[in-house]
Amino acid sequence: MSGRGGWWRGKSTPAKVETYTRWSFHTFPFVEVAAFALPAFGYVPAPVNWILFLLVSAHAALGAVTASLTLDWTRGRRPLPVRLLWALGTATVVIAVVNLVLALHGPRGTDNGAAAGTVFVGVLSFGISTLALAVRETRRMVYGVLGAALGAGAVAVLAGVPAPGAAVTAGAVVLAAGFFTFASAFSVWMLNAVYELDEARETRARLAVAEERLRFGRDLHDVMGRNLAVVALKSELAVQLARRGRPEAVEQMIEVQRIARETQREVREVVRGYREADLRTELAGAQGVLTAAGIDCEVSGPVTGLPAEIQSALGWVVREATTNVLRHGDAGRCAVSLRVAEGRVTLTVENDGAPGSGTGTGSSTDTSTDPGIAGPGRGSGLAGLRERLREVDGVLRAGPAGTDLFRLTAEVPLPPDSVPEQAPAPEQAPAPASEPGGSPRPVPHPVSEVTP
């Protein structure tokens, strides 16, 4: 018993449904023999009763084999058994007609009409329902049942059955064959539906894995992008200072070492899935990094009092915008402002590092609905920002806001009970090392990643 239970429990749900469906069809031969072959011994004398019994039993066995192979065809495991279907159809007609003729014109004559009609209807019904497994369209199944009923009525008349009796026989074929055909078609439909649902579940699981991989890739991009840009910037500055024999090169390399260790920590947090961005920290970091790169950075607006999820989403916007300015812009000024009005918090990042992109209109484009706004060469950062903001019902807009000016805006609705407090802007980061002449050394950067 334990072996049987293990065999059943080891099957998947679709496999269990298929096993149940197959064994349901395998019981049909026993029903056919018990209901239509055995009664022949009661109304037909020997040896005719044995002939009818063997014929009906052979038809039942042929129907079981045909049903099994046709079910394999419906699952795409083998070609359609055309020859076997033709053999079953021919056997159904021949056995039904022979049974009717032998019963009506045998030793006991027309006294056996009712019994003969029952066997005649039963053999036709089981045969038609098995043949219906090879038909995919409901319309053709209906035509098959109606055609079998008309043929049964015609054969009954030719065999000597009165017209009312032939009509009753045709009606009985419609009811019996229609019922068994519907049962067969429904069983196949249910089996296919279970397999399709199982495939959909597997597809959903694969999509979930793919989405998690994409999320991990975006998070890793967010972490590594800005930090590596800062490392490259400070390393270049340290090289220039070292060539001039300036002691500040050591301080720059110490900062590079600190950023590398911080990057390692953040990568570990990405792997664990616990990393969140803090808005105040990101604003302070952005101001320090941009100032070190020779870009005049101004930060204004309330920071504290915002919900944690909104702070995290806006923190990622600040981080990605800073990365884009450092990597892809030649900006001399960058302004980051945070504004709360009418139950919404708006974060705006503007830089003047987009030469030739401005139109002077000051219009912007909603990148949440136009993924192509970033144009050629854009990275995956904006896609990640849009998804993060969508989680808090926010939108991201980016586009030219005038000649040589590019603006990125993130707008998020606030919960009714959230009232942010005014807080001073983050402290200015120390200015970068200057050239011998005393002026800070500017570092060139291409246009922001969100620039069209």
- Residue-wise pLDDT for 135-175, tens only, equals 888 888 888 888 888 888 888 788 777 788 778 888 888 88
Structure token digits, residue 287:
């101001």
Task: Output the average pLDDT for the chain.
Answer: 76
Residue 346 pLDDT: 92
**Element at 232 (helix H, strand E):** helix 163-243
Q: State whether the Cα torsion 31-33-37-38 is positive or negative.
A: negative
Residue 354 pLDDT: 65
Residue 147: closest CA among 230, 70, 89, 232? 89
Q: In this model, does residue 377 exceed pLDDT 80?
A: no
**CA dist 415 → 307, 310, 342, 395 (Å):** 8, 10, 11, 16
Partnered with residue 133 across adjacent β-strands are none
- Whether 227 and 262 have beta carbons less than 8 Å apart is answered as yes
Kindly write down the DSSP assignment for every residue of 344-358, as one continuous string: EEEEEEEES--TTT-
Poorest-confidence range of 88-97, 120-129, 167-176, 383-392? 383-392
101 confidence band (pLDDT: 50, 70, 90): confident
Residue 115 pLDDT: 61
- Under 8 Å CB-to-CB from 61, ≥6 apart: which residues? 29
Q: In this model, does residue 362 exceed pLDDT 50?
A: no
208 confidence band (pLDDT: 50, 70, 90): low
Residue 336 pLDDT: 92
Residue 247 pLDDT: 86
Poorest-confidence range of 318-327, 338-347, 356-365, 388-397? 356-365
DSSP letter at 361 equals S
Segment 317-334 shows an average pLDDT of 80
Residue 294 pLDDT: 75
DSSP letter at 440 equals B
Q: In this model, does residue 348 exceed pLDDT 90?
A: yes
Residue 369 pLDDT: 37
Segment 116-125 shows an average pLDDT of 79
Q: In this model, does residue 430 exceed pLDDT 70?
A: no
**CA dist 51 → 19, 45, 48, 57, 430 (Å):** 33, 10, 5, 10, 107
Residue 411 pLDDT: 92
Residue 446 pLDDT: 36
Which strands form 333-341's sheet, in the order they lie side by side?
296-300, 333-341, 344-351, 406-413, 395-400, 365-366
What is the Cα–Cα distance from 249 to 242, expressed in whole angstroms? 6
What is the Cα–Cα distance from 28 to 34, expressed in whole angstroms? 10
Exposure pattern of 117-150 as b/e (b: 16+ CB <10 Å)?
bbbbbbbbbbbbbbbbbbbeeeeebeebbeebbe
113 by Cβ neighbours in 10 Å (0-12 / 13-18 / 19+) ranks as buried
Question: pLDDT, tens digit, for every residue of 241-292?
Answer: 888 888 888 888 888 888 888 888 777 777 655 556 678 888 888 887 787 7
Segment 409-421 shows an average pLDDT of 75
pTM higher than 0.75: no
Greater pLDDT, 355 or 59? 59
**Stated length of the chain:** 452
Residue 448 pLDDT: 36
What is the Cα–Cα distance from 409 to 389, expressed in whole angstroms? 11
Residue 410 pLDDT: 92
Cα pseudo-dihedral 162, 164, 169, 173, rounded to 10: 140
- Whether 228 and 207 have beta carbons less than 8 Å apart is answered as no
187 confidence band (pLDDT: 50, 70, 90): confident
Instruction: Assign residue 343 a region (left: φ > 0; alpha: ψ between -120 and 50; beta: otherwise).
Output: left
